[in-house]
Amino acid sequence: MSFRVRAITLDLDDTLWPFAPIGARVERTLDDWLRRHCPRTADRFPIPAMRALREQVFAEHPDLAHDFSQLRRLSLVRAMQASGDDIAHADAAFEVFHAERNRVEFYPDTEAALVRLAARRPLAALSNGNADLATIGIDRLFAFQLGAREHGAAKPHPGIFHAACERLGCAPGDVLHVGDHPEMDVAGAHRAGMRSAWLNRTDAAWDRTDLRPDLEFSSLAALADWLDAHSATETEAA
């Protein structure tokens, strides 16, 4: 399929790196820190109980569904209050979480593919999560990062896609959104009037009948290959 692409927006978790190892490591690291600094909290809320408390806090605050960082802070404060520990520790605990959350292991193709894509088109990160590209060390490859927390609404709401397009100075139909999630990324981009590329690293079957992604790739490198060929075709046509 051929169409104009003036800019690219990219999801982060499970698109540039797998999130599951990060989530598991964050839980262990935070639990270790709590056992040293807030032992009553660690005893009352071991990892499964802390996870359940976090889910409860998330459910109680649908108005903060776009702000994972604030929800995480609230969960820590709630746990410390319930355990009798000083809630002043919550800020330090959150910093431990934040540092570990941003220690990512890229998919093998990610870094080289990002360099290739950034050389062709402006890139913007568009994520519901709380990864920080500057902390991770790849912000130089992106025009900007737009998170659900900063925008005030999460994918798949069309507003966050439109805000990214506006900052890129492009009409939605000229921007390609790339992500792993059929609803948050593909359907969200589709409803916002953008082109979509489904990054299907697990060889999953597309099981929706109401829409399809414009493009599908098994790796970010394959997307970079497509964009190289697409750019060459555009140059020849010009």
List the structure tokens of 186: 């593909």
Query: Catalytic site residue 203?
Result: no
CA distances from 3 to 123, 186, 226 (A): 17, 17, 12
Identify the active-site residue in 11, 13, 180, 185: 11
CA distances from 209 to 21, 187, 203 (A): 32, 11, 18
Residue that the structure tokens 């998330």 belong to: 58
- Write out 198-211 in H/E/C secondary structure: EECCCCCCCCCCCC
Number of helices (H) and strands (E) in the chain: give both, helices first. 11, 6
Instruction: Please give the Cα distance from 199 to 223 (Å, whole number).
Output: 9
Q: What's 173's DSSP letter?
A: G
Task: Give the catalytic positions in this structure.
Answer: 11
